[in-house]
Amino acid sequence: MVEVAPDTPILVGVGAIQQKATDSASAAEALALMEQALRMAASDAGSEALLGRADEILIPKGIWSYSDPGRLLAQRLAVPSAHTVLAEIGVLQQTLITRACQRIANGEASVVLVAGAEAKYRDLLARKAGGEAAETEQSGVVPDTLLQPEDELWSPVESAAGLGMPVGYYAIIDSALRYKQGLSVAEHRDQMAQMYARFSEVAANNPDAWVDEPFTASFIREPSPANRMLAFPYTKLHNSQWNVDQAAGLIVCSVAVAQELGIERSRWLFPRASSESNFMSVVASRRDLGGSPGFRLTGEAVMAVSGLSFADVRLRELYSCFPAAVRVQLEEFDGLREGDLTVTGAMTFAGGPLNNFVLQATVKMAQILREQPTEAGLVTSVSGMLTKQACALWSARPGPHSYAHVDVTDRVRAESGICEVVADYQGPGTVVGYTVLFQGDQPWRAVAVFDLAVDRRTVAYSEDPAIVAAMQGEECCGRRYALSGGQFTAAA
């Protein structure tokens, strides 16, 4: 048995909650789900005493309205002195796990709780019944630490063209990657459908997944009343499912605390290595619209310090909010072998609570690694529109370093080609990525990112039926159009 330093951070307790109530009155709110998940994590570790020794409680912001949910949890768990941290949307979920590990490794904390939850399905049930789901009121309270993104997730030029929901941005990224890979539109749709069909099979065998039935590739690929097109070529079943009630709780402590409390070695999981990039750029500004220097560099970094390679890692949970996120990772991770890309069933089928999926995935990965202690598990993270990236490697055995984290933000900033995004452009432009947005079951508007000149871009739209139709059946990347007033018309 390898001896490890007493200040080494380890994950000792995990818990995941899934609530499928038939009415909102019988369903617990997000706060209660977080509490349940943390109590489950303490039970999983075999030590209820962990909760009472929490130095810090970390939570990613959700759809709920609590201003400092960590304080509410601290009161419920009887640790009123715990430091509370709330991470706004736009902060990587992995950042919270990284912070927990760093605080322990630095001797600034000995037990840290990380929890997150959404109860959007509960809200949906309440609205269908003509009411509103009540939640614990909290006002005039702020967290001890508020983590915020340093920049905006999108630009006014993108918004003016009609981009709002993430699905449109990701569909544009995917079209650029398709063009770079030399795939036809049909081949691209086939590949995505096959990939997501496999995800649904994994979910069907995961008792914690929200969807428990597999789907065929043809059903996923083609729009239907039960699977409408959202932003070509993405149907609903390519989209993260956020109408879920799910929660996760993780307890990280030092080896010294685990030994003091008698937590069995078989419960310990080591954060073997992690890496992050927090460089932010809006989608239209990225010179390599279908690529991600952030994932290339975080992937290289996490493998370098872990002593492993992508070919060594057979348990993977690649962040899967939309197909582009997965496909870009496959493009950027050198040596990633064939095999399943998810242990949960991915965010469409396992469930994609808005700002909590990475915690859910880490719980599942920990459970599997305990069953397969010779393996290592990779969990990746995305924030924004493929804006920030992170990788985490977990194992039941320590690596060459007791704990290693690499921040590659500055390297990503230096290696990311960034274009100026301009408004009110008139003249010719070349499409570098595009989508067709839908309203209901009808195509509404084609939106495209255009190259104008060296390192200059704009975003424009067209509602011309001929252009909208062409952009759903033909490869339009590389085509030139005439632009004026934020719109594009017949090929230039």
**Model confidence pTM above 0.85:** yes
pLDDT at 2: 66
Q: Rounded distance, CA 37 to CA 476, Å? A: 47
**Structure confidence by residue, pLDDT tens digits, 91-130:** 999 999 999 999 999 999 999 999 999 999 999 999 999 9
Residue ranges in the chain modelled with pLDDT below 50: none
Q: Rounded distance, CA 387 to CA 379, Å? A: 17
- Which residues are bridge partners to 481 per DSSP? 429, 491
Query: What's the one-letter identity of residue 24?
Result: S
pLDDT at 400: 81
pLDDT at 99: 98
Question: Quick one: which of 211, 288, 249, 215 has its CA closest to 60?
Answer: 249
DSSP H helices in 30-165:
30-45, 49-52, 69-76, 93-105, 120-128, 156-160
Tokens of 204: 């069907």
- Which residues are bridge partners to 271 per DSSP? 394
pLDDT at 492: 58
**Structure confidence by residue, pLDDT tens digits, 357-378:** 999 999 999 999 999 999 999 9
Q: In this structure, are strands 111-119 and 145-147 parallel, antiparallel, or unpaired?
A: unpaired
Residues contacting residue 44 through CB under 8 Å, at least 6 positions apart:
13, 14, 15, 267
